[in-house]
Structure 1
Amino acid sequence: MSAYQLVWLRQDLRTFDHSALHHAMAAGPTLAVVILSPEQWRLHDDAPIKIDFYLRQLQALQSDLANLNVPLLVLRVELWHDIANALKKLCQTLPIANLYANREAGVNEISRDKWVIQSLKQLNINSHFFEDCTLFALGSIRNKSLQPYQVFSAFKKQCYEKLAMHLPTCYPIPEPQPALTLTLDASAFHIPSLTELGFDKIPPLQQALWPVGENTAFERLDAFIADQVAYYDRERDYPHLNSTSQLSAYLNIGMLSIRSCVNALFREQYGNFDFVSTGQQVWLNELLWREFYQHILFDFPKVSKHQPFKDHTQGLMWRDAPDELHAWQQGQTGIPIVDAGIRQMLATGWMHNRVRMIVAMFLSKNLLIDWRLGETWFMQHLIDGDLAANNGGWQWCASTGTDAVPYFRIFNPVSQSEKFDPNGDYLRCWLPELAHLNAKEIHDPYAKNPQRKLDYPRPIVDLKHSRLRALEAFKAL
């Protein structure tokens, strides 16, 4: 029996522009394996809607790989530290010559991969890891002192210089290989359901918001580039306009590669790094913020360990306010834009980015509750929950992170709501109990009439007083 190449799939569930799959199939007959780790997912606070999205895409990918005559094996290994032994056993069962996978940035992911490399080396199996989740190799963007950047603008400038020299190229879908004959039990190919893995079922209406399949991801990308990107800079902050790409969930599980997004962005310029609209540039900057946080995660392992990026903020005196935290978690704070954002997330698994910032700053500044509690709640409910981006965003809002907002710059959620949802359309969508209020009243319904009767809570905190409290807490550092 000839030796096989084994592709280990992780957060890269696609066939187009897949570095590890491309190199494995170029080297010889190839098998693919995915390892499901529900207990590890719980430890990482992964949302059931995100896991369901992953499993549904896995079904689609198994079919796509079958068209390439690449069998997809499915292993269940509860915790990552047991994966090395599981892969070793698999490689003893099948004649595996090489392992191929794409690199990941987190501390636990890096440790897991080191254990696998060492374990397979005992069987004389070589492991090949490729740069695939970022535009530029992790650890490759450095300042003149060969240190990682801690400020986004400087990081972005170097990325621009690299992109101007050469836009990233995408690997095509590999040609089908000759059919393989595997004598394995059918259970080795079974993709379990969410309930089989011990999670609650996701409502079909929620699933319908997030269809799977590489073609679906590309259709969404192409529609955004064709119809919305030119206006992105002007409309992206208005949550009622639905003007963002909403591709984060597809990027997060690797149904779509970051290189595909950049190539689509410059398709009309025939692959030249040349902006024709401000919206195009602003969307690229958003992709580079994602890139920046991935590199931060890799270069500063403390970010993976629930520590603030700015060490001195470890001493912040966060409030222990369980009732206020619960009100925030359920969208019952009495601050409409905050509650609308939380309810959007609980209902759909996604929240508009401008609203995420407002919601996060309200928790970490106005309520002065530890940002890590908010970070966890987001991860437990977001379909696009990504450690690097979620942590980066929360630490930005809490003024504890790299290149974060200055501690004295605190969003007023009512002013933000009036500015970015002027007619209250977003609020009416998610707060039906306020739908009858006019555009002036809806953002702060008790402001001019504290005694009015509404089926909606009064604010749990005074915005002016709580702002001063946050300023004092940061000054005390």
Structure 2
Amino acid sequence: MTSQNKQKIAIFWHRRDLRLHDNAGLYHALRSGLPVLCLFIFDKNILEKLNDRHDKRVTFIHETVMDLQSSLAEQGSDLLIRYGTPEKIWEELTEEFQLGAVYTNHDYESYSKTRDTQIEALLKNKGIGFKTYKDQVLFEKDEIKTGQNTIYTVFTPYSRAWKAKCNDFFLSSYPTEKYFNRFFQTQPRPIPSIGEIGFERAQGAFPSQKISNDVLEKYEDRRNYPAQPGTTHIGIHLRFGTVSIRDLARKAFETSDTWLNELIWRDFYQQILWNFPQVGEGRAFRPEYDRIKWRNNEAEFKLWCKGQTGYPLVDAGMHEINATGFMHNRVRMVVASFLTKHLLIDWRWGEAYFAEKLLDYDLAANNGGWQWAAGSGTDAAPYFRIFNPTAQAEKFDPKGEYIRKWVPELNSLNYPDPIVDHKMARERCLKAYKEALAKS
């Protein structure tokens, strides 16, 4: 142990908050009176579940933490970066440093809650405090409740209550920059290479974290048309916290109520995941939907994954996600509805595929979106809403620009016939759902 390491310090543990600006937990750490050393852990428990050694999300995180370390070096400090399991790493850190307290921000997923409970117990056993704060959402857990003091399970009334409660207090940034002189002064340590954590660097650029006013001002008119530059592509930055939700919400209040609703959906699904944790464990929000007899035809699922269903809008969406890790939101609804309703394939199969492919994958939103499509989630609409992919294409890609971009083989001999007839599939779906729900 060096003499430098004998100084009592606080550690701020970055997870879904890879930034220094407007970071709740970091703000409280910097104001604690102890010098603050920042930490990021490449968590083996998470990384070992990823199948693609070129997973672009790992490349994004690796590049982001390198930038974060550079920013901290400018303050005479460092971002300590470790690779392994959190339990083992925290055991090592308590030996390496004299820790006064550990600060971090809330995470709402099942694995994260279990991990944090274990780390809190480990630290408490050594007399070290573990303090966590709300950062990635505006409202969490049970902060937005009905007049009957219950949790909202339908979005529209939740969003009204959210807007009624949201004010400057909740939108204000944490002024972390005022306290940058309180970072622990130390020399930068080596960063594990992407190869050392078991991956290879993925090619391609990532979306910008800057959103133009033009996109937001025209968001309501453009957002449903996948061929237009109508969406923000900010999802990966929200997922990993390279942007502040408070900054974005203030911008949304100023420019676009429709886009503000998209941010509120994030809060809504996070509070659903917290209050109804069974959804994150693979169960339907509405238990009666777990009685549906899914066909789960593996050959059809593979055709869906590869974008070879014979329905151009569905195939375009799947080609887009496979190539880029992104899919337009309107198209996500269509492809999810097609898998669950036309093919009667369990929504969990589609959710898992999106989890593997999406750059902006977030358990709460992904689960919520897939259960919405399947009819098993929080949405108030009846289960017999079944998107017609041909009609959706005619309405939202009327010139076929998006489809031609992602399905260049359209109108060639290489393009397959539809794998299922829409009318037959719709009737089969309604029958299967009715039979399952009749047992309620």
Code of the residue aligned with 2:96 in structure 1: it is: T
Deviations 1:190-210 (A, max 9, x none): 1321x432235422xx2x1x0
Return the match for 2:421 from 442, 462, 465. Answer: 462
Q: Partner of 1:101: helix, strand, or coil?
A: strand
Q: Is the 8 A contact 1:396 1:404 kept in 2?
A: no
Cα deviation, residue 180, structure 1: 4.5
- Please give the alpha-carbon distance, in whole angstroms, between the structure 1 residues aligned to 2:321 and 2:142: 33
- Please give the alpha-carbon distance, in whole angstroms, between the structure 2 residues aligned to 1:344 and 1:147: 40
1:257 lines up with 2:234 in the alignment = no
- Please give the alpha-carbon distance, in whole angstroms, between the structure 2 residues aligned to 1:110 and 1:11: 13
Cα deviation, residue 412, structure 1: 0.1
Return the match for 2:337 from 334, 351, 361. Answer: 361
Q: Which residue of 2 aligns with 1:191?
A: 192
Worse overlay, 294-303 or 400-409: 400-409
Q: Which residue of 1 aligns with 2:399?
A: 423
Cα deviation, residue 37, structure 1: 1.7
Deviations 1:304-339 (A, max 9, x none): 101111101111101131110000001111111001
1:384/1:45 Cα in 2 relative to 1: closer, same or farther (>3 Å)?
farther
Q: Is the 8 A contact 2:226 2:330 kept in 1?
A: yes
Code of the residue aligned with 2:270 in structure 1: it is: Q
- Please give the alpha-carbon distance, in whole angstroms, between the structure 2 residues aligned to 1:289 and 1:281: 12
1:48 lines up with 2:55 in the alignment = yes
Cα deviation, residue 56, structure 1: 1.3
Deviations 1:385-428 (A, max 9, x none): 00001110000001011125421110000000010000000011
Gaps of 5+ in 2: 1-5
Code of the residue aligned with 2:196 in structure 1: it is: E
Cα deviation, residue 23, structure 1: 1.3
Q: Which residue of 2 aligns with 1:99?
A: 102
Q: Which residue of 2 aligns with 1:472?
A: 431
Cα deviation, residue 294, structure 1: 0.7
Return the match for 2:226 from 236, 239, 242. Answer: 239
Code of the residue aligned with 1:177 in structure 2: it is: N
Q: Which residue of 2 aligns with 1:399?
A: 375
Q: Which residue of 2 aligns with 1:3?
A: 8
- Please give the alpha-carbon distance, in whole angstroms, between the structure 1 residues aligned to 2:423 and 2:229: 31
- Please give the alpha-carbon distance, in whole angstroms, between the structure 1 residues aligned to 2:65 and 2:435: 50
**Deviating 4+ runs (over 6 angstroms):** 44-47
- Please give the alpha-carbon distance, in whole angstroms, between the structure 1 residues aligned to 2:400 and 2:20: 42
Q: Which residue of 2 aligns with 1:143?
A: 146
Q: Partner of 1:432: helix, strand, or coil?
A: coil
1:151/1:44 Cα in 2 relative to 1: closer, same or farther (>3 Å)?
farther
Identity of aligned residues (%): 38
- Please give the alpha-carbon distance, in whole angstroms, between the structure 2 residues aligned to 1:392 and 1:180: 41
Cα deviation, residue 21, structure 1: 1.1
1:176 lines up with 2:180 in the alignment = yes
Cα deviation, residue 43, structure 1: 3.3
Deviations 1:265-311 (A, max 9, x none): 245xxxxxxxxx6xx11111111011100111111110110111110
Worse overlay, 142-151 or 346-355: 142-151
Q: Which residue of 2 aligns with 1:30?
A: 36
Q: Partner of 1:43: helix, strand, or coil?
A: coil
Cα deviation, residue 454, structure 1: 1.9
- Please give the alpha-carbon distance, in whole angstroms, between the structure 2 residues aligned to 1:176 and 1:119: 29
Deviations 1:135-188 (A, max 9, x none): 0132222223322111111211110111257551012342432674558xx7x5
Worse overlay, 174-183 or 360-369: 174-183
Q: Is the 8 A contact 2:36 2:183 kept in 1?
A: no
**Normalising to structure 1: TM-score of the pair?**
0.86
Q: How many residues align?
A: 428
1:115 lines up with 2:74 in the alignment = no
- Please give the alpha-carbon distance, in whole angstroms, between the structure 2 residues aligned to 1:338 and 1:179: 50
Code of the residue aligned with 2:359 in structure 1: it is: I
1:12 lines up with 2:17 in the alignment = yes
Q: Is the 8 A contact 1:8 1:101 kept in 2?
A: yes
Q: Which residue of 2 aligns with 1:202?
A: 202
Q: Is the 8 A contact 1:50 1:385 kept in 2?
A: no
- Please give the alpha-carbon distance, in whole angstroms, between the structure 1 residues aligned to 2:430 and 2:306: 26
1:191/1:85 Cα in 2 relative to 1: closer, same or farther (>3 Å)?
closer
Q: Is the 8 A contact 1:308 1:395 kept in 2?
A: yes
Q: Is the 8 A contact 1:397 1:405 kept in 2?
A: no
Q: Which residue of 1 aligns with 2:84?
A: 77
Q: Partner of 2:171: helix, strand, or coil?
A: coil
Q: Is the 8 A contact 2:316 2:402 kept in 1?
A: yes
Code of the residue aligned with 1:72 in structure 2: it is: L
Code of the residue aligned with 1:51 in structure 2: it is: V
Worse overlay, 142-151 or 237-246: 142-151
Q: Partner of 1:97: helix, strand, or coil?
A: strand
Code of the residue aligned with 1:13 in structure 2: it is: L
- Please give the alpha-carbon distance, in whole angstroms, between the structure 2 residues aligned to 1:260 and 1:473: 46
- Please give the alpha-carbon distance, in whole angstroms, between the structure 2 residues aligned to 1:9 and 1:404: 37
Deviations 1:439-475 (A, max 9, x none): xxxxxxxxxxxxxx62211111111101111100110
Q: Partner of 2:131: helix, strand, or coil?
A: strand
Q: Is the 8 A contact 1:6 1:30 kept in 2?
A: yes
Q: CA RMSD in A?
A: 2.0
Q: Is the 8 A contact 1:332 1:339 kept in 2?
A: yes
